[in-house]
Structure 1
Amino acid sequence: MIKINDLFFKPFISEEDLINRVNQMARAINEDYKGKSLVILAVLNGSFMFMSDICKGITLPMEVSFVKLASYSGTQSTGNVRELVGLDTDLEGKDVLIVEDIVDTGKSMSYLLDLVGSSNPASLEIASLFLKPNALKENIRIRYTGFEIPDLFVIGYGLDYKGQGRNLRQLYQKTEF
Structure 2
Amino acid sequence: MTKPAPIGVFISEEQIQTRVKELAGMINRDFQGQDVVVVGVLNGSFIFCADLVRHIQTPVNIEFVSLSSYEGTNSSGEVAFRMDVKQSLEGKNVIVVEDIVDTGLTISFLLKHMKLKNVKSLKLCSLLRKKARLKVDVPIDYLGFDIEDKFVIGYGLDFDGRYRELPYIGVYGE
- Which TM-score applies when normalising by structure 1? 0.93
User: What code does the residue aligned with 1:154 have?
Assistant: V
SS at match of 1:23: helix
Residues 92-144 of structure 1: CA distance to partner in whole angstroms, max 9, x if unpaired? 11000000000000111011011110001000010000011111111311000
- The superposition leaves residues 135-162 of structure 1 with CA deviations (integer Å, 9 ceiling, x where unpaired) of 1111311000000001110000000001
Who is 1:119 aligned against?
A: 117
- Residue 13 of structure 1 is matched in structure 2 by 11
In structure 2, runs of 5+ residues without a counterpart are none
Identity rate of aligned residues, in percent?
Answer: 44
Query: Does structure 2 conserve the Cα–Cα contact (< 8 Å) formed by 1:40 and 1:63?
Result: yes
- Aligned pairs for 1:24-43 (under 5 A) are 24-43=22-41
Q: Which protein, 1 or 2, shows the higher relative CO under an 8 Å CA cutoff with sep ≥ 6?
A: 1
In the other structure, the counterpart of 1:84 is 82
**Aligned residue in 1 for 2:91:** 93
CA distance in 1, matches of 2:10, 2:123: 27
Higher strand proportion, which one? 1
Between 84-93 and 25-34, report the one with greater CA deviation: 84-93
Match of 1:150 in 2: 148
Write out the 4+ residue segments of structure 1 that deviate beyond 6 Å after TM superposition.
none
Query: C-alpha displacement at 1:14, in angstroms?
Result: 0.6
C-alpha deviation, 1:8, in angstroms: 7.4
Which secondary structure does the structure 2 equivalent of 1:72 belong to? strand
1:10: how far off? 2.4
Offset of residue 35 of structure 1? 1.9
Contact in 2 for aligned 1:25/1:144 (Cα 8 Å):
yes
Q: Is the 8 A contact 1:38 1:94 kept in 2?
A: yes
Tell me, in whole angstroms, the C-alpha distance in 2 between the residues paired with 1:122 and 1:144: 18
CA contact (8 A) 1:10 1:175 kept: no
Q: Does 1:56 align with 2:54?
A: yes
Q: 2:51, 2:84 → 1: CA distance?
A: 23
TM-score, normalised on structure 2?
A: 0.95
Aligned partners of 2:157 and 2:36: how far apart in 1? 25
Instruction: Return the letter of the residue paired with 1:95.
Output: N
1:130 corresponding residue in structure 2: 128
Q: Residues of 2 paired with 1:58 and 1:8: CA distance?
A: 33
> Between Structure 1 and Structure 2, how many residues are aligned?
172
Q: Among 72, 75, 78, which residue is 1:74 paired with?
A: 72
* Cα distance in 1, alignment partners of residues 50 and 146 from structure 2: 21
Runs of 5+ unmatched residues, structure 1: none
Aligned-residue offset at 1:89: 1.8
